[in-house]
Amino acid sequence: MSVLLQVLLMAALAGPGDAPAVPSRTGLDPALGGLEDLRRRTGGVGLDGVSDSDPSTEKKQQEENKKDRPETPVQPPGAQEAGVVDFEWLELQPRLGMAVFSKDYHINPSPAFGILGRVPITWLSPSSNPDGDYFGVFAQLDIVVAKRNIEPKLDKDSGPMMFLAVGIDYSLYRDETWMIMLAGGIQYGFFGGITDLIDGFAPIVALRLGVTVSRSVSLTFSPEYCMGQKGDSIILALVGAQIGF
């Protein structure tokens, strides 16, 4: 008790400006916050044991900031210009059926088979429905195995005929179930050297009907009319499966 009274008396005699400094039990500098003082005393190492000046820490922060920013600016829908045709909507149609020739050919109805491919023409869609599949461009190859029934017998009266055609089609009606198309184009006929048949070009017109059976497959029926030379004609009646990609 007497010791305590002596200490107080000495402090009173010394005055407020001469008070002895009392060491802090915690060792923290009262002029700094707790976290800043800890970093000062530990050489810049934070509470997690990693130095603020550690290169790995700076690299990690840069990577995190980079992730927050998109690498490329986001473009609004329709910002990219559309091409003339859209090959992402390619449709292939393997098909088979019969070929019927006009009487001047002297050929009975004959088996036919082939394949057709088409893509929509994007810039011919009407403004009222820019995503509609109205116009398309197509290419097709059909093969007919035929024999001429002329007497006396010809030097070469039978063989495969090939017909290659290109053109444009128009969707009269098309939804998730039904399809009605009108097509027209130009066709080159190669008759394989059969006697008295002349290779050449001819116009064609076709009607394509389809019904959807799954998400990307439709059954089709395609009657086609080809007008040859001197009023001759060939009609192809083909059924097939249209496959969308």
> What pLDDT is recorded for position 79?
37
Task: Read off the pTM.
Answer: 0.64
Determine the Cα–Cα distance for residues 236 and 79; give it in Å rounded to an integer: 43
Strands 217-227 and 178-190: unpaired
Query: What residue ranges of the chain have pLDDT lower than 70?
Result: 1-82, 125-132
CATH number of 87-244: 2.40.160.20
Which amino acid appears at position 87 of this protein? F
Rounded to 10 degrees, the C-alpha dihedral 149/152/155/160 comes to 0
Parse the chain into domains and list their residue ranges. Answer: 26-69, 87-244
Residue from 234, 229, 235, 148 nearest 192 by CA: 148
> pLDDT tens for residues 7-41?
666 665 555 555 445 444 444 455 555 566 556 55
> What pLDDT is recorded for position 128?
66
| Sign (positive or negative) of CA dihedral 196, 198, 203, 204 | positive
> What pLDDT is recorded for position 14?
58
124, with CB counted inside 10 A (0-12, 13-18, 19+), is middle
49, with CB counted inside 10 A (0-12, 13-18, 19+), is exposed
Determine the Cα–Cα distance for residues 158 and 179; give it in Å rounded to an integer: 36
Which amino acid appears at position 211 of this protein? V
Which amino acid appears at position 126 of this protein? P
> What pLDDT is recorded for position 144?
98
> What pLDDT is recorded for position 81?
47
Find the helix or strand (DSSP H, E) in which 220 lies. strand 217-227
